[in-house]
Amino acid sequence: MAEEKTNVMRLLDQRKVPYTPHHYASPDGAVDGATVAGLIGRDPGQVFKTLVTVGASKNHYVFVIPVLRTLDLKAAAKAAGEKSVAMIRQAELLPLTGYIHGGCSPLGMKKPFKTFLDERAQGLETMVVSAGRIGAQVELSPQALAKQARARFADVSKDGE
């Protein structure tokens, strides 16, 4: 498989942010985060998914949470200062962010959205997020990701899938 750079990798290169690229074969398209963790040889607690929501105010928010956890909508709304937040429909993802389901990265979206990293990332040396394409991930420090995504840490996930 060609291990070409994604726009996310080029963005990190341009900003001189250290990262490790990971590529995996996904013949059936998007796979769940636990499968991705296994394919790249990382603990699932280190691999994070990017979720996009819409608040009661119609503003959009991005949440980056561990793949084995679920977004806590009440905690997410509180972190965003909203009365409520809801997941956007899958059909809205590409026009809104420029990314498809299974390849959504918190970096390099069409426009910047208020972004939150689950606080569980803070205790990790590195974390893994999508590189903007199915089959590609980037591993970098949580602090570097927070800085590049202009994100803040918050307790926004709960147990469960």
For the segment 104-124, what is each residue's pLDDT rounded down to a tens digit?
A: 999 999 999 999 999 999 999
Q: What is the mean pLDDT of the chain?
A: 93
Give me the long-range contacts of 158-161 (CB less than 8 A, separation at least 24).
Answer: 158/69, 158/70, 158/71, 158/72, 158/75, 159/69, 159/70, 160/69, 160/70, 161/68, 161/69, 161/70
pTM of the model: 0.94
Per-residue b/e over 2-37, b at no fewer than 16 CB within 10 Å?
eeeebebbebbeeeebebebbbbebeeeebebeebb
For the segment 50-81, what is each residue's pLDDT rounded down to a tens digit?
A: 999 999 999 999 999 999 999 999 999 999 99
For the segment 24-38, what is each residue's pLDDT rounded down to a tens digit?
A: 987 676 678 888 999
Q: Are 149 and 61 in contact (CB under 8 A)?
A: no
The pLDDT, as a whole number, for residue 110 is 93
The pLDDT, as a whole number, for residue 1 is 44
